[in-house]
Structure formats: C-alpha cells, structure tokens
C-alpha cells in the first residue's frame, strides 16, 4: 500500500500543508486525549470551518441532561465565554432551541418525541461533512471523492429499516463522552453507498447518508494516512441492505436535485 500524505482529505487536492484534527480539538477539555485523529489537509480548507460554533451548539444541547461531563464543563467555561463575547450568536442559538418535537413514521405512525433545534445548515453541515470525510479515510484508507452527495437527518428515531441499518453497522472512532460513531457500507454492481451515525456529547446524533458512487478498485484511488481493510471495517451489503441503493435510486428519480 502506497502512503501518500500530500493529498488533502477535505478537498482531495494535492499540496496538503498542515495537520487537522478530524474531531475538532475545541470539542474537548483538558487533559485532551493523546490519540486525537489528525490527517493532512490544506490549512485553507479546515481553517474556514466554524467549528467553535458547532461545538457551542452541541455542548449546549447536551449540558442540561448530565450525560456528558465534558459538555457540562464546556458550557460552564468556553461556551459561556463565547456567548458573552458574542451576544448576537447567543440570541441566534437560543431562538433556535426547541424542547422537543413529535416524530412520525412514513406511514404517519406516532413514534414519540426527540430533542430538536433550528440551525443554519450552512454553519453546521460543512464541519460535519469534514468529519465524515476524515472518518471514511481513517476506516477505509481511501479518500472520499469531492463531488459526493451527503444527506443528513438529526436526532432520527430509529424505526423499521432504519433500525435494521443501525443494528448492522460497525462501531467506529470514539472518544469517551465527547464523540462516537457507527458506519455501514453497501456495495453492489460497482456502486458504494454508506451510512454514518455521529453522536456528540452522548446526546445529539446526526445520521448521514453518502449517496452511491462508483466503487473503483482500491488501486485506482489515492491511499493516504492510515491503512485499512475496507471489507473488514464495515458490514458488506446483503439482501436487506441492497435496499439502500434501491431507495436512493428511487429518491434520485423523484427528486434529482441533491440536498443536504
């Protein structure tokens, strides 16, 4: 396996000139884990992301239920100081808070409630996309191409096939009470799709569906940073998971416009 550290894991372009924490360093409190995942990237690609805004949002959502001591510590320190320095930011976040919302299945069956917040996707999803790209590289040893389509669903109630996908997924990178993930690959007839669940501070969960792309032989892709066995690091497609590709094709035909 050829290790090539010159490619940026965020934009896939050559000339990476800095190390970047895939899970932002600001999400943690001292003492920070010594094994935080870092990958090569362009400084201009990762420095423009509003990672502290995302941290403030997620830590605030988690601090009240005592699930994460790190979130509580951040809320009483770095997050509060950030809001004190920036009153408009504080008001923006507070205005978007919603205690809970009802959740229904596609057949309009009531499934319960989940925590919710209104937020600007352009301030949150770019940082989350970066994390998925880094996790993909970490777990497979390959770059995720730049033109991928990411579809997000926050705090999704697991139901039906969604629960089956989650139960079939493999555990991925985790850092105590700050971050954990699960992932699932589906490969069929030259296509690859993946599902990712990112949980922050043991409370806020984002499910990401990375739409199918051509599954090129590993030798045809740049292999960077960490090695890995893609076939061993996720559960490969079976008769149930084929529906991932079928469902995506159906949604694409009905709504060809890519959406986050």
The whole-number pLDDT of residue 121 equals: 86
CA distance 207 to 196: 6
- Of 213, 195, 215, nearest to 205 by C-alpha is 195
Residues 6+ apart with CB under 8 A from 75: 59, 60, 63
Rounded mean pLDDT, 125-135: 97
Do strands 150-154 and 110-117 pair parallel, antiparallel, or not at all (unpaired)? Answer: unpaired
What are residue 75's phi and psi, to 5 degrees?
-65, -35
Determine the Cα angle at 97 with ends 96 and 100, to 5°: 130
Share of the chain above pLDDT 90, in %: 42
Q: What is the pTM of this model?
A: 0.78
CA distance 80 to 75: 6
Give whole-number Cα distances, 31 to 70, 181, 203, in Å: 11, 22, 22
Q: Which tens digit of pLDDT belongs to each residue from 34-50?
A: 999 999 999 999 999 99
Q: Which tens digit of pLDDT belongs to each residue from 218-258?
A: 433 332 233 333 333 333 344 445 566 566 556 555 554 44
């Amino acid at each position: 396996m050829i290790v090539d550290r010159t490619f940026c894991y965020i934009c896939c372009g050559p000339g990476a000139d800095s190390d970047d924490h895939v899970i932002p360093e600001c999400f943690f409190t001292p003492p920070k884990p010594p094994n935080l995942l870092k990958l090569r990237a362009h400084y201009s690609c990762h420095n423009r992301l509003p990672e502290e805004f995302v941290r403030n949002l997620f830590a605030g959502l988690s601090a009240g239920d005592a699930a994460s001591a790190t979130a509580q510590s951040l809320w009483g320190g770095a997050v509060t100081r950030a809001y004190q320095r920036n009153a408009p930011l504080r008001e923006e976040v507070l205005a978007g808070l919603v205690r809970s919302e009802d959740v229904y299945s596609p057949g309009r069956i009531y499934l319960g409630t989940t925590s919710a917040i209104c937020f600007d996707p352009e301030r949150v999803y770019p940082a989350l996309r970066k994390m998925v790209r880094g996790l993909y590289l970490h777990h497979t040893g390959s770059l995720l191409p730049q033109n991928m389509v990411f579809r997000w669903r926050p705090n999704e109630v697991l139901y039906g096939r969604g629960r089956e996908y989650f139960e079939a997924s493999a555990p991925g990178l985790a850092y105590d009470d700050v971050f954990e993930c699960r992932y699932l690959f589906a490969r069929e007839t030259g296509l690859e799709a993946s599902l990712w669940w990112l949980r922050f501070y043991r409370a806020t969960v984002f499910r990401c569906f990375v739409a199918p792309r051509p599954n090129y032989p590993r030798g045809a892709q740049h292999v960077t940073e960490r090695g890995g066995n893609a076939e061993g690091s996720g559960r490969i497609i079976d008769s149930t998971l084929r529906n991932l590709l079928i469902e995506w094709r159906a949604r694409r035909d009905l709504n060809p416009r890519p959406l986050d």
